[in-house]
Structure 1
Amino acid sequence: MSLVTTPATTTEPVGASWHPVRHPHVDILGIPVTSATRAAITADLLDGLRSPADRCHLLFFVNAHGCNVAFRDAAYARALGQATWILNDGIGMEIAARACGRRFAENLNGSDLIDEGDVLRRCADEGIPVFLLGARPETLERAILGYQGRYPGLIVAGAHHGYFDHDDDDAAREISARIGRSGARVLLAGLGVPLQEIWLARHRSQLPCRLAIALGGSLDQVAGDVPRAPRIWIRLRLEWLFRLFQEPRRLWRRYLLGNVVFLARVALRRRGLYGTTTGAP
C-alpha cells in the first residue's frame, strides 16, 4: 500500500532559538495543566514552528482517565513531566479545577485544537509540513486523505503506522530518521494513552521535528473509522457519554468507575489525605 505523502521542500527557520510562553497552570493531582485560551496556545505553537528550536517540544492532553493512569503508571507520569504543554481535556478536569478554587481558560482537547482547529489550518496556509504516526496502515491512508480534504495545501510529508515494537530502539531510530528525511516540523502521534506519551518522551532527544503532539484516537476519527460526537453533545460537554454509548464494553469501566475514582482523589487531596500522581513533576 502506498501512502499519499508529499516530501517537504520548505527551508528551516534560522535565528535565535525559540522559548515557549509561560502560561499559568492548574495543579490537578500534581500534574501542572496549562490554563490558556485556544488562540494563545495556537499562537505559541506557531511561533515555535516558525523559529529554530534546540529540541523537540511535546504537547500532551490529559483528562480524568489520564490522571488515573498516571497514578498507577510511573513511566506515564514521568513522561508528562517532560511536556512543554499539558492541556486540559474534558469536563472532569474542569470540575477538578473548580474543586481547587481554579478555572481553566478553555477546554482544549486534541480534536478541537488540532484536528478541527486552527493549528493544522495554519500549517496548511504557511507550508509547515507534518508527519503522521499511528493507526493501521489502511486507516492511516484514509487519515491522510481526510486531513488533506479538510485543509487543502496541507503537506503530509510522511507517515508510519502504529503497529511496530514500541520498545525497540532500532525501530524508533528508523522512524526518527524517516521523520528527518521527510522534512516534517510537526509529528502527530496517535498511539493511545499512555503509550504515545511514553514513546515520545523516551525518544524526544532523537526526534528531528520541532513539535510532537500526542493525539490519541484522532487518526481513527479523521479516517472516518470512529465517529465523533455531534456538536450538541460537544457543546454540552457530554462527548464522553456519546463515546460510552458507542463502545460500552470497552469504556464503561473508564467512565462510570474511573470518573468517580478521579473525583474522589481530587476531593481527598484537597483535604490533604491523598498524594500526587506517581512520578509527577
Structure 2
Amino acid sequence: MISKGKRNVLGVLVDALDYEAATEQVLAAARDRRPLALTALAVHGVMTGVQDPAHNARLNSFDVVTPDGQPVRWALNLLHRAALTERVYGPHLTLRVLDRCADEGLPVYLYGSTDDTLGRLIPELERMFPALKIAGVESSKFRPARPGEDVEIADRIRASGARLVLVGLGCPRQEVFAYAMRPLLDMPLMAVGAAFDYHAGLLRKPPAWMQRRGLEWLWRLGLEPKRLWHRYLVLNPLYVARLTAQKTGLWKATPPPPATESPAGFAV
C-alpha cells in the first residue's frame, strides 16, 4: 500500500497513493461513521482549480484527491518523485470500493445522473456484486439547490441507513456538492465522475493501451467532440504549459488554503 500524502500539482493538492490506500481510507471512514470527501481528478479536474481560485480552495479541503488521469500521475512523479506505477482511476476505484462494501455489508447511496442511467446502473451493480446493499438512489435535479435543500438531502441519505455516498454529477458540480455535503454527513462521499455512465454501459471504455499511454482523452474526444473539444484541445495544452512552468520554476504554483465556507447556490 502506497500513501505519501498530498503533493502540489499546479496549486491543487493531489494525494500520491495507490488503489489500496484510497480504498482503505474510504472503507475506514464508512466503518467508523466519519465524514470524508474523495474525488478523482484528471487534467480537466485539476484545471478547474487552476482557473477558479475558490474551487481550488474547495479541492484542497478534500480528504483524498486521487490521480485519476495518467498525466496527473506523471506530474506527481515528475514534480515530486512519487514513483507511482499506476493512476487511481475513478471508475475502477468505485468497483474496488463497492466490492469491499458488499463484503462488509456497508450500504451505499447513489446520488446524481439521470433516472435512465441509474435504471441501467443498478442491475449492473447487482450483477457484479450480488451482496451489495443499495440503501437509496436519487437522480440529479440539474438545478441550483434551494435554501435548506442540502439539509433535506442529508436527512434522506442518513435515514436510508447508507454508509457511503457515490456522487455522479460531473466535474466540477460533483466536487462542489461533495464539499457542501461533507459537514452534514457522518460517512464518506466519493465524487466518481463518469463511473455511473461507464458501469451502466452507456460509455465505451478505450483500449487498455490507450489508457496506459494517457490517450483516454483522445478516445473520449472522438466519441463526444462537440461537448469535449474545449476540455481536451484547450485545457490539455494549458496543463502541459503550466506543468512545465512549475517544473522549471518559472511559475510558483502556490496552493490556496483549504476552503471553510459552504458554496452558495451549488447544484443538485
Which residue, 107, 112, 117 being the options, matches 2:87? 107
Which residue, 41, 48, 52 being the options, matches 1:69? 48
Q: Does structure 1 retain, via aligned residues, the 8 Å contact 2:13–2:59? A: no
Q: Does structure 2 retain, via aligned residues, the 8 Å contact 1:77–1:277? A: no
Cross-structure match for 1:8: none
CA displacement at 1:161 relative to structure 2: 0.6
Which residue, 107, 132, 142 being the options, matches 2:120? 142
Q: Does structure 2 retain, via aligned residues, the 8 Å contact 1:63–1:90? A: yes
- In the TM superposition, what are the counterparts of 1:29-40 in structure 2 within 5 Å? 29-40=10-21
1:267 equivalenced with 2:239 (yes/no):
no
The number of equivalent residue pairs is 256
Give the TM-score normalised by structure 1.
0.83
What percentage of aligned pairs have identical amino acids?
34
Provide the rounded CA distance (Å) in 1 between the counterparts of 2:162 and 2:175. 19
Q: Does structure 1 retain, via aligned residues, the 8 Å contact 2:111–2:166? A: yes
Cross-structure match for 1:17: none
The 4+ residue runs of structure 1 with deviation greater than 6 A are: none
CA displacement at 1:275 relative to structure 2: 4.1
- Which ranges in structure 1 are unaligned for 5 or more consecutive residues? 1-20
Instruction: Identify the range of structure 1 (250-259 vs 173-182) with the bigger mean alpha-carbon deviation.
Output: 250-259
Paired residue type of 1:29: L
CA displacement at 1:190 relative to structure 2: 0.5
Instruction: Identify the range of structure 1 (64-73 vs 80-89) with the bigger mean alpha-carbon deviation.
Output: 64-73
Residues 77 and 141 (structure 1), Cα distance of their counterparts in 2 relative to 1, 3 Å cut: same
Paired residue type of 1:92: P
CA displacement at 1:104 relative to structure 2: 4.8
CA displacement at 1:101 relative to structure 2: 4.8
- Which ranges in structure 2 are unaligned for 5 or more consecutive residues? 259-268
Cross-structure match for 1:3: none
Cross-structure match for 2:197: 220
Provide the rounded CA distance (Å) in 1 between the counterparts of 2:62 and 2:167. 14
Paired residue type of 2:11: G
1:88 equivalenced with 2:64 (yes/no):
no
1:25 equivalenced with 2:6 (yes/no):
yes
CA displacement at 1:240 relative to structure 2: 1.9
Provide the rounded CA distance (Å) in 2 between the counterparts of 1:226 and 1:277. 36
Provide the rounded CA distance (Å) in 1 between the counterparts of 2:142 and 2:149. 7
TM-superposition CA deviations, 1:108-160 (whole Å, max 9, x none)? 01112113xx2111111111000001111121121122211111111110011
Cross-structure match for 1:5: none
1:130 equivalenced with 2:111 (yes/no):
no
Residues 152 and 32 (structure 1), Cα distance of their counterparts in 2 relative to 1, 3 Å cut: same
SS at match of 2:17: coil
SS at match of 1:77: helix
After superposition, the CA RMSD in angstroms is 2.1
Residues 101 and 43 (structure 1), Cα distance of their counterparts in 2 relative to 1, 3 Å cut: closer
Which residue, 26, 36, 43 being the options, matches 1:45? 26
1:158 equivalenced with 2:158 (yes/no):
no
Give the TM-score normalised by structure 2.
0.87
Which residue, 249, 252, 257 being the options, matches 2:226? 249
Cross-structure match for 1:205: 183
Residues 104 and 140 (structure 1), Cα distance of their counterparts in 2 relative to 1, 3 Å cut: farther
Residues 160 and 179 (structure 1), Cα distance of their counterparts in 2 relative to 1, 3 Å cut: same
Paired residue type of 1:113: L
SS at match of 2:234: helix
Provide the rounded CA distance (Å) in 1 between the counterparts of 2:209 and 2:79. 28
SS at match of 1:163: coil
Provide the rounded CA distance (Å) in 1 between the counterparts of 2:146 and 2:218. 36
Paired residue type of 1:168: R
Cross-structure match for 2:164: 186
